[in-house]
Each structure stands twice: as C-alpha cells, then as structure tokens.
Chains A and B, each alone.
Chain A
Amino acid sequence: MPPSSLTRFAAAAAAFTVLALVAGTATTQAARHSYGPGPRCGGTLWRLMTLSDPDRTRVDLHGADTTIPAIAALHAPARITPYRTTQFQKHVWRLRAVVDRYRIASNGEIVLILFDIDSGKFMDAYLPAKACLGPAARDRTGILSARAQLTSRCPTVTWQWQLVGITVEIGGVGFWNPVKTTRGALPNGAELRPVTNLTVVTGCGVGQR
C-alpha cells in the first residue's frame, strides 16, 4: 500500500472511531433520559399498565377465555385508581381477534386495535416497551415475548396506524382506561394492558403462501 493511501486510511479510521464514540455516548444518555420507567410510561397508572403495581401478585395469570363483546358489556368503575379494584383487573383474559391496525406510541408501547368479527366491535390492547417495564414488573418475560411475536413477524411498527388484518390469539390483563378517545377504544374504556400472550394465527406471513 502507498504511504499516501495509508495516511488516508488511518485518518478515516480515526474519524470513524471518534464518530462512533460520540454517537454511542449520545445514544446512551438519550435512552437513560427518554425510556426510563416512570409516569412517562403511562402517567399515574403506568404501574398498572406494566403489571408493576402493588396488586400485581393478585392477578391470575392463568387466564380466562372471553370475547370482546363480553368485555364491552362490563361496567367500568366510577373511579379509576392505581389499584386493582375489579375482577376484570385481576385476570388475564384470552380471546381470539383480528388485529385491525397497530402503531407504536411515543413511549414505545405498541397499540393494537382488536376487532371481533362476530360482533363488529373494536377494542384496544397494549404491548409495553421494554424500557417501561420496571424490575418489579410481573410476567416480564411473557410481556416481552408477546411483543416479540408481533414485531418479529409483522411489518415494522411505525408511529402511524397501519392496517394489518392478522388473526391472533391474544391474552392480556384487564385495564380500565379513563381515556376513551383513543382509536378503537371500547365505550367502557376496557383494554388488555399489558398484553402477556400473543400468537399470530394467520397473517404476517403465518399460513400464507
């Protein structure tokens, strides 16, 4: 190799190393400040949303079969607190539904709009971001695994709503959301949050040739 070329290669390598170090440092600092657990992951109810609340141990993770119409028929509590006051909040509910759309929220959680073919009802379900799951989060593995099931098979989730149309077997902890303006939200605010189990039955490449 000629000396001039060697000099240029060394300079380029040094510049790349410096840029990599700067970029790595910036990324680490941004993560520490942007995705740490806390109210940013869901406001005052973030512990319920991430199964990190004090009553998390009272949740029956074995789950019970249900449907979206059945959940839609439930009555929401008059006052929603950071505690699990209803049976709906103390169980994992399993159902089969079609994922109409999904998107990733600003705190990194993925929002699924579930659709029940028979009743024509929509309902929301949430897959928390890894960063929002504190060390006390229960069934952390199940939550992350459910999220990985979706993200590993389906097109990349973006900030925008995407039509998906996949059929899933989904399970999640009952959650009453006081905010009922989200797209696909049931009138009573019932949601599956966090989603602890997700299996793609068809769609996203599963069963399709």
Chain B
Amino acid sequence: MSAATVQSARRRRVTGMTAFIGANAVKRRVQFSLFTLLALLLAVLGTGIAAAHTLYVSAETHYVNFAMPLQDTTRDLLLQIEREQTGVRGYVISTKRESLQPYFRGRRHVSVDLAALGRLARDHRELSAPLEQVRREVVDLHGFYDRLIVFVADGGGLRQAQRDVLNGDPTALRLQRSADVLQNAATALVARTQHAQRATYRRTLATLSIAGALALIVATWLLAKLPERLRFAYASEEGARLRAEQGANAAKALAHVAEAVVLIDDDGMVRYWNEGAERLFGVRARNATGVAVSSVVRDYERLAGGAAREERFVPVTIDGTEHWVTPVIAAFDGGSVLTVADATAAHTLERMRSEFVATASHELRTPLTTVFGGIRTLLAHRDNLSRGQQQGLLQMMERESAHLVEIVDQLLISARLDREALQLHATDVDIASLCRGVVEGAQTRVGNRHVIMLQTPAAMQPLRCDGGLLRQILVNLVDNAVKYSHRGGRIDLLVTDEPTQVQIDVVDEGIGIPAAEHERVFEKFYRVDPAMATGVGGSGLGLYISREIAQRMGGSLTLQSEPGRGSTFRLQLPRSTD
C-alpha cells in the first residue's frame, strides 16, 4: 500500500469522525441560536409588556389618579371657599343664621377637599409645602369668617363685621394665590411625569429596537445557515446510523457463523466474542469481553503461531478434549480479528484418507505384485516350467485377481453409498443356499487353516431381499472373521429363522475387539490396527459397507466382542410385509 493510499484512508477516517463530532456541534449551535432567539423574543415581549404597563400605570397614576383629581379638587376647594364667603357675607348683611347654610356646606366640602388633597400629595413631597400653605390659608380664612360670624352673632360686633366685609378679604386672595401655587406645582409635576414618560418611551423603543435587531440578526443567520446545518447534521446522523446498522448486521452475521470470531484490541483485550467462540471455547461472551485474550483462550499463543504459519490444523485442548482448529488472524488498525474454525472432523477425514491411501496402496499393490510377478515368470521361464508349476502360477494369479476385484467392488459400492446411488434389487432369496455358497467359497479360499461351520434351520421360507448384496455382507463378515482368527480357529455361521426377521450370526474365536472400538469398526476406512502390525490387511471398507447395506435393507448389523474371546457379528434382516 502506498503512502498516498494510507494518507487517503486516514483522511477518510478523520473526516468520518469529524462529521460525527460536527453533528453534535451543529446541534449545540442550533440549540444555542434558537435559545438566544427565544431569549431575545422574550426580552422584546417582556420589554414591550413592561413598557406598556409602565406607561399605563404612569398615566393611571399621574393623570387619572393624581393630576386630574388634584386639579378638580383644587378647583372645588376654591369654589367651596366662595360658597363660604357667600354665606358669611349674606349672614353679615342679613344677620339671619339660615344665611349661613352655604357657609356650612362649603366648610364641610372644604374639609373633604383638603383631606383629598392631603391624600393626593402624600406621595409627592414637592406638593407638601404648597398644600400646607393652602391649609394655613384655609384655616386663616375660616378664622376670619368665624370672627365675622361671631361678631354678627354677638350683635355688638356687627358694625365691625360689616366694616371688615366692606374692606375686602385679603385672606381669600392669599388662598387663591396659594391654590394657584398648588396647581402650578401639580402642573410641574405632571410635566415632569410627561418628561419621564417620554424618556421611558424612548428607552423602551431603544431596547425594543436593539432586541428586535438582534433577534432579526439571529433569525437571519438561522434562516441562512440552519437548513444547510440541519442537512449536514442529518447526513452525519444518517451516516452514523448506517454505520451502526452495518455494525449491528455484522455483529448479527458474526453471531451466526460457525467459526469462533474474536475481536482483540491492541492491548490484547477481547472486544467481541461471538456465539461460535462461546461454543468452541465454552466461555460466555459476557465473561470473555473485556478480559485479556490469553486468559480466556489458553492456547492463544499456539493459535497465533499457527495462524502466522498458515497451518490448517492446530491442536488445542478445550475442556480436556483435543480439538483440531484452523486459526486465522486478520490485523487492522487498532486490533485484530481471530477466526477459529473447528477442523476436528476435517482433520479426522484427512487422517482417514491418509490411512485409506496407505491401506489401499498396500491392498492393491500386494495382489498386483503377485499377478505381475506371475505373469513375468510365465513370460520369461514358461519353457522351463513344468505344467504343474505353470498351473500353480495361474491359479495364484487368479486368486489375487479375484481379491483385486473384491477390493475394487468394495470401493465401487462405497462410492455408490456415498452418492446414494446404491440400488437394491429384491428377489426371493434362499438364505440357507446363499449361506452355504458363502461358506463353501470361504472354505475353499482358506483351505484347512480354518474350520467354517454353517448351521441353518431345517426348513425356512425364502427372504425377499437383494441376494447379491446380502452375499457381499456375509462374504465380508466371514472374511473378516477369517482375518482375525487364529490358525485352526473355528468360524460359525448361524442362521435363525424368526417370524419377522432372519438373523445370521458370524461367530469367530479370534482376537476380539475392545468395547471402545465396537462402533468405530463400522466407520469408513477405520482399522483396529492401522499400522497393520498384526499383518492383517484390508481396505477398511468391509464392515462399513456391510452395515450400510444392512441398514438400507431395513435391518441392522451389530457386534458383540471381547478382546481374546472372539467376536460375533449379528445381521438381522426383516421379512417384508408386502
């Protein structure tokens, strides 16, 4: 990989990461901008409401609740004073008390007006002095009027009262001036209030303008940037979602593969542990994840070494059982993936094939060598050999050729069994006759080295089956018994006729088979003595073929044997019900 390619790949990774981080940043920016816009709008709203409320309250306070009542009350005060004056003057002129009624009414109203003015001026210190002056003038005026009234009531002071009235009323004029001062003070206060209101209005307008402008700027920015940012954020999130989905799919796929898949980081810690790994290593994913791989997989170093050497089969011991596995390690930036396939079955098949090659080579070569030797002898020394010698050679070559044919037949049957191409041709078979032929053929082959005995029922119904294949089974069993029997050993072929089946036992007094091997002897290419230390040859297919054929006939082939006590192969074939 070139440096440019590496840099490009690194750039892609960085860009992807930046996009993911950028999505969050965009989200935060958009949130911040919207929050700012919201805050500004709230500020505009709040300022508007506050300003409107302030102006309303100010107008309410200064005009409706203060200026207008103050003006009206002051005007009414002066009016009531005039009423008082009218009453007093009438009384002075008429000396009749009923003339004082306007005075009394005016005086009551004046008290009310003064109290109202006091309330209005309570919160306006600038009105306190003028109002106090008005109060003093009112008191003085009332004192003046009371003096006139008492003088008139006294009788003796009537002239003086009339003289005072005629001389004018300077106190009333002073009160008028004081009232004017109060009015002017109120007017000045209202003017100041108007000025304050205008200032409030200007400040509010300025605040609203600034906040509105800021809100406009933010809104414009959002309008210009937000769609693109959102598209970018959406694309980033979509990419992240796709990557996450791919990751999830990959994890789902890895969970269902047969191989053990282990993700290991640069620190040697397990980051992923699929179900295949659980099955193979017997450790749950939750117990393996986050743990050092060497502590979970005891033979990790051996696996790593095997993977490095690309070995097909590496032996590992898991839970005390030896497994043959095929390890593969793929390293990447940030860790590696260990894939371990359980190759125990393949390893066994491989071993069996190796053994078959060795066995078949030996089994085929031996008769071929014999035949080849016989032919060469006849060709080279035919004239020097007697007729008897030639006949002996030809008979030997015939036997070995027959053996070759037998081996080849077994191979062909095995191949047909593998292809499921073996066809049964059922006919009514005379079992006793068939067995007798097998025994005679075998006896002929072994001569006097073994005694082969046949025991059949006196009379038995024919069995409907493929006679050729049945003969193949029995030949295999008898030859097998011959191979593993001591010289002079007896071999019995016992036929039992039962209503539902026919049972044929092949009993020998041979070396016997250990119990652990009872099932394995029926495996393809399996040999009890693979090294052929006993000198017994064979293709390793005889028993395999016999059991397969028996099962295809609906029957069974079982073994009873003990080492040193011989073996009994029992063939049971059902009678057909049709």
Contact = CB atoms under 8 A, between A and B. Distances in A.
The answer to whether A and B interact is: yes
Contact of B142 (A122, A202, A209): A202
A169 to B, nearest CB: 11
A203 B104 contact: no
B21 to A, nearest CB: 88
Contacts of A98: 146-147, 149-150
A7 interface: no
Contacts of B171: 208
Nearest to A184: B154
Nearest to B161: A165
A163 B140 contact: no
A160 B150 CA distance: 18
A100 B154 contact: yes
Contacts of B139: 167, 201-202, 207
Contact of A202 (B140, B148, B156, B174): B140
A183 to B, nearest CB: 10
B151 interface: yes
B494 interface: no
A126 interface: no
Contact of B146 (A113, A122, A167, A208): A167
B140 A208 contact: yes
Nearest to A167: B143
Nearest to A183: B154
A185 B100 CA distance: 23
A163 to B, nearest CB: 4
Contact of B156 (A99, A163, A207): A163
B104 A100 contact: no
Nearest to A118: B104
B156 A117 contact: no
Contacts of A131: none
A33 B104 CA distance: 50
A165 B146 contact: yes
A120 interface: yes
Given A98-B149, A117-B149, A207-B136, A167 B142 contact: yes
Interface in B128-169: 136, 139-140, 142-144, 146-151, 153-154, 156-157, 160
B252 interface: no
A201 B151 CA distance: 17
Q: Is the interface of B mostly helix, strand, loop or mixed?
A: helix
A103 to B, nearest CB: 13
A163 B160 contact: yes
A68 B370 CA distance: 173
B142 to A, nearest CB: 7
B97 interface: yes
Contact of B153 (A99, A115, A161, A201): A115
A166 interface: yes
A146 B549 CA distance: 153
Contacts of B170: 209
B80 to A, nearest CB: 16
Contacts of B151: 100, 163, 165
B140 A101 contact: no
Contact of B154 (A101, A117, A166, A208): A101
Contact of A201 (B143, B154, B156, B157): B143
A167 B171 CA distance: 15
A127 to B, nearest CB: 19
A161 B154 CA distance: 12
A163 B154 contact: yes
Contacts of B104: 118
B174 A117 contact: no
A202 B142 CA distance: 8
Contacts of B153: 100, 115, 120, 122
Interface in A162-207: 163, 165-167, 201-203, 207
A47 to B, nearest CB: 32
Interface in A55-109: 98-101
B143 A207 contact: yes
A117 B140 contact: no
Contacts of B157: 100, 163, 165
Nearest to B170: A209
Interface in B170-219: 170-171, 174
Contacts of A163: 151, 154, 156-157, 160
Contacts of B144: 202, 208
19 contacts: A100-B151, A113-B154, A115-B149, A117-B100, A117-B149, A117-B150, A163-B156, A163-B157, A165-B146, A165-B157, A166-B147, A167-B139, A167-B142, A202-B139, A202-B140, A202-B142, A207-B140, A208-B140, A208-B143
Given A98-B146, A201-B139, 17 more contacts: A100-B151, A115-B149, A115-B150, A117-B100, A117-B149, A120-B153, A122-B153, A163-B156, A165-B146, A165-B151, A166-B147, A167-B139, A202-B139, A202-B140, A202-B143, A203-B147, A209-B170
Interface of B: 97, 100, 104, 136, 139-140, 142-144, 146-151, 153-154, 156-157, 160, 170-171, 174
Q: Which 9 A-B pairs have the closest CB atoms?
A: A202-B143, A165-B147, A207-B140, A98-B146, A115-B150, A167-B143, A98-B150, A163-B157, A100-B150
